Each structure stands twice: as structure tokens, then as C-alpha cells.
Amino acid sequence: MSQHTEAEIKMAKLLVEALNLEDMEAEEITPDEQLFGDGLGLDSIDALEISLAISQEYGVQMKAEDEATREAFATLRSLTEFVENNK
């Protein structure tokens, strides 16, 4: 199990809040777990909610048609790295 960085914990808290994951704690989202499909099971609507929350919190715009954005949504770690590199 990978350790969370401070930035990953903050991002996980943002996900829990933005998606109203009331039955989940931020620390339960492991850094390398897939966000979509067999991982957390998120969908495209969740991706829109997350993008909006990231835009509001960090001022980072995520474009659906951008390959880097699709890659960023793979895991908590990749999403955190994308935001940290683009703010």
C-alpha cells in the first residue's frame, strides 16, 4: 500500500467532498487505485464534478478532449500530479 503525500490527501478530500462520498474517508482512496472502472467505479458525470471542484479549488482547467486530462484521471496520484504541475 502506497503512502499518501500531503497533496494526495488534500485531493482525496476534494474528491470525497465533490462527489458526496459520505461512506468513504479520504484516506481510503489509495494513491494508485484506478478512479474509474474496477477501482472506485467513478463515471463521466463524476469526472465533470471533479473537474469543476479542481477548477474552483486550484484554478486548473481540465479539457475533456485533452489526452493529458484523460491520463490525469487514471489514479489519485496522477490526478494530484497533474494539478500540482498545472497550477
The identity of residue 72, as a single letter, is A
Q: What is the pTM of this model?
A: 0.91
We report the CATH number of the domain holding residue 11 as 1.10.1200.10
- pLDDT tens column, 20-73: 998 999 999 999 999 998 889 999 999 999 999 999 999 999 988 889 988 999
- Residue 35, pLDDT score: 94
Distance CA 13, CA 7 (A): 10
Residue 32 lies in a domain: yes
Domain that holds residue 81: 6-86
Residue 1 lies in a domain: no
Q: Number of structural domains, the chain?
A: 1
Q: Do the domain assignments include residue 82?
A: yes
21 belongs to a structural domain: yes
